[in-house]
Structure 1
């Protein structure tokens, strides 16, 4: 019995979501906002127009009813010169003297015994599908209504009406309704159609405005976002080998500021990549030399014990040098971190004295403790000591037995300066700008061989910059070089510290 191999079900990768550009999103939002706003304006305008129509019809009905009521009370029959006694005569005379609006009907209704109310109307055309004078059922409903005004809704069209009952003049006092009534009716369809027509016109104008806004918004959004597209294109074309592209900056708006900021970032990236390439090249060169030496000695090492001992000594020396280079490189890499220095309140006098005590063990020189500033400063004492000892080591390498090296500190306005001055050959002007770079050494060297990799002064500069300061170089009076570590001090000056002064005096006496 054989079993079928299980089928392998493969599912296609989901299609990547299509991105909508910022230009389209801006345009869509603009159109949505404008469409809502224009629709709201059109709807509000229609509502206002319809309200005005209703108010005008109400005023017209009230005015016509009031005029008839006044005529009934104060009018005289032109044939007899007396007050009206017959309702139909009253209604006929009043209707002959009135001029109704186009959509308005003035009708007189007179009750006849056992029959429909007789109607008295003005002989003119009414621009409606079915006027009230042709609708007996509507007339009966209005004549029988006990309300003075109302709205009659019918399939042929709505009617707004007002009614004035004619007072009884000799009629039966036991009748169940008025003997006659004056009715004014208004057909609001045409007035409302005018409001609807204005609404449709506004919608058409809004549509045209949206089309114009679409074209204008598309062009304006494209012009505004053009630098953004240039930034995106430039970012997509950037490689480690080509960081030379820049974005043209036009105008002074936020987009121009973005382009300017992007160009500044590219400048920093270009410098960083260049420095990284130089650093890697120099580090590779410095590490390649001891590796070559170690490999050569190991390949040539023979069986002679003395030769083996010498080879081991040389190999160990080169490995120690490689270890120092790696440690210096790690220290410089750490200098980019925010926790490279941890400042704390330190007495400058004590710090200067401690540096002097540690530095004078570096070599047989004439060590001198110069001026000492007595104030409290905010620095990382370990890093400052490391930098000063490195400067002292550099001074030892450039001086000989018996020459003077002076260490001190002083206040310079709001800054403090710690310095190391030697009486060696000094630094050539062409070297002053490069000796603080990594793996760079000056050309003015004595015949004595130094084992440094050119990272010491780079470490000093990194420590100074970590304290938001700098390191300066100038000539020493009488010959030599003076390295100054300048750091801005934000702490207030302190009073004389007797303990620090006594300690400095004791260490200075022991050093001399």
Structure 2
């Protein structure tokens, strides 16, 4: 029996950073959406508020009109004169007809006289003109009867043809015995239609404004965010092998500040990677020789006890040298850190004397404590002591027993100088610039006594430059030899 194995293809989902980035909404789109949302809310609020104000103004104007017409009729009743009798009106029909003939009403306004005859029904007295509204109120007897019979002086009548605002003035005519009233009716739909038209116009204008804002906002946001896109594109192209790219800085706004900050970050990264590469290169270069020596001696070591002891001594010496090299390289790597030096107020005279006492144990030389600056300085006493002792050790390596070595400190202007001067062979002109580099030695100062890896002066320079305004200088005294000087400009 044969078993067939079926392999099912597995579908994987693309979860790479590029795929995730493609699904994101860009800052340009988000800014534009927020801008459009805010503008849409603001424009809608403006349009709605304008419509509300227009409707309120219409209500106020209608109320004023109704009040004015009813007041005019109320004043006319006691003062009016019947043209037929020359006396005050006693018949409501005549009163209403005479008054209505003298009035000029608005297109949406109806002035009506309502009289309830003794035999029933409803008599309507009105002006001889056509109202602009589609359906006037005077043919609607049921609504007019409701108004006449109502105890209210004003009200709102809702009809299929539209809303009607009305006010009435009852007519007191005891002699006639017929209920009568003067009615002012206003059809508000026409006025409200104007407000609605204005509202729709505002909405159309707002829509056009939003479209224009969309185009302008898209262009402006693109111009503002262009440096940000450059930052992103530059960051995407950065690799450990290429940290030389920089962002062009234009203007003085926040985007320009961002570009400057990003460029400064790239400078720090480039220095960090360069230091890392240099550390690895230096370590590989310097450690290769002792490793080769150790391996060679171990490979040829025989069974002779004396030979084995000599091999162990040589291997131990090389391992000690490797340990010193590693420690020096680690110290130089720490020099890039901001806390490499920790300045504090120090009495310069006491520091110089301490360095002198420690240096005297380095070799049999004619040690001389030179001038001592009697003042306070702001520096890292441990690092400065380390640098001065290294300079003293360097002087011992390049001088013979009994040679003069002077250690001192002085104040020159606003700067502080600490120096180590020896009477050795000095430094050749071609070596003056290279002796402070890693693993470089001066040609005239090489000798059998020099067993270092060429990192001492590099450490001294790193300590000096770790102090603000600090540096190390090589000077040539007139009496010969060499003088190494730590100059601290901002030690006050």
Q: Give the TM-score normalised by structure 1.
A: 0.87
Name the count of aligned residue pairs.
478
In the TM superposition, residue 375 of structure 1 has moved relative to its aligned partner by 3.0
In the TM superposition, residue 470 of structure 1 has moved relative to its aligned partner by 1.7
Match of 2:34 among 29, 34, 41: 29
Which position in structure 1 is the counterpart of 2:165? Answer: 160
Q: Write the distance in 1 (CA, Å) between the matches of 2:129 and 2:342.
A: 103
Q: For the structure 1 residues 94 and 14, does the alpha-carbon distance in structure 2 shift closer, same or farther, using more than 3 Å as the test?
A: farther
Match of 2:135 among 126, 130, 143: 130
Which position in structure 2 is the counterpart of 1:496? Answer: none
Match of 1:143 among 137, 140, 148: 148
Q: Secondary structure at the match of 1:132?
A: coil
- What per-residue deviation string (whole Å, max 9, x for no partner) do you get for residues 266-308 of structure 1? 3443344334323322221100011111111222223344333
Match of 1:60 among 57, 65, 76: 65
**Correspondences of 1:61-210 after superposition (within 5 Å):** 61-172=66-177, 179-210=179-210
Q: Is the 8 A contact 1:471 1:485 kept in 2?
A: yes
Q: Write the distance in 1 (CA, Å) between the matches of 2:395 and 2:81.
A: 133
- What per-residue deviation string (whole Å, max 9, x for no partner) do you get for residues 306-352 of structure 1? 33333222222111110101111222233344443444443322221
Which position in structure 1 is the counterpart of 2:452? Answer: 452
Does 2:484 align with 1:483? yes
Q: Write the distance in 1 (CA, Å) between the matches of 2:102 and 2:430.
A: 117
In the TM superposition, residue 54 of structure 1 has moved relative to its aligned partner by 0.6
Q: Is the 8 A contact 1:422 1:476 kept in 2?
A: no
Structure 2 gap ranges (5+): 1-7
- What per-residue deviation string (whole Å, max 9, x for no partner) do you get for residues 421-445 of structure 1? 2222333444333333332333332
In the TM superposition, residue 446 of structure 1 has moved relative to its aligned partner by 4.2
In the TM superposition, residue 455 of structure 1 has moved relative to its aligned partner by 1.6
Q: After the TM superposition, which of the residue ranges 362-371 and 431-440 deviates more from structure 2?
A: 431-440
Q: Give the TM-score normalised by structure 2.
A: 0.90
**Correspondences of 1:67-466 after superposition (within 5 Å):** 67-172=72-177, 179-466=179-466
Which position in structure 2 is the counterpart of 1:503? Answer: none
Q: Is the 8 A contact 1:460 1:471 kept in 2?
A: no
Q: Secondary structure at the match of 2:400?
A: coil
In the TM superposition, residue 182 of structure 1 has moved relative to its aligned partner by 0.7
Q: Is the 8 A contact 1:103 1:186 kept in 2?
A: yes
Q: For the structure 1 residues 102 and 453, does the alpha-carbon distance in structure 2 shift closer, same or farther, using more than 3 Å as the test?
A: same
Q: Is the 8 A contact 1:415 1:486 kept in 2?
A: yes
Q: For the structure 1 residues 267 and 338, does the alpha-carbon distance in structure 2 shift closer, same or farther, using more than 3 Å as the test?
A: closer
Q: Write the distance in 1 (CA, Å) between the matches of 2:233 and 2:490.
A: 46
In the TM superposition, residue 490 of structure 1 has moved relative to its aligned partner by 6.3
Which position in structure 2 is the counterpart of 1:4? Answer: none
Q: Is the 8 A contact 2:421 2:482 kept in 1?
A: yes
Q: After the TM superposition, which of the residue ranges 13-22 and 197-206 deviates more from structure 2?
A: 13-22
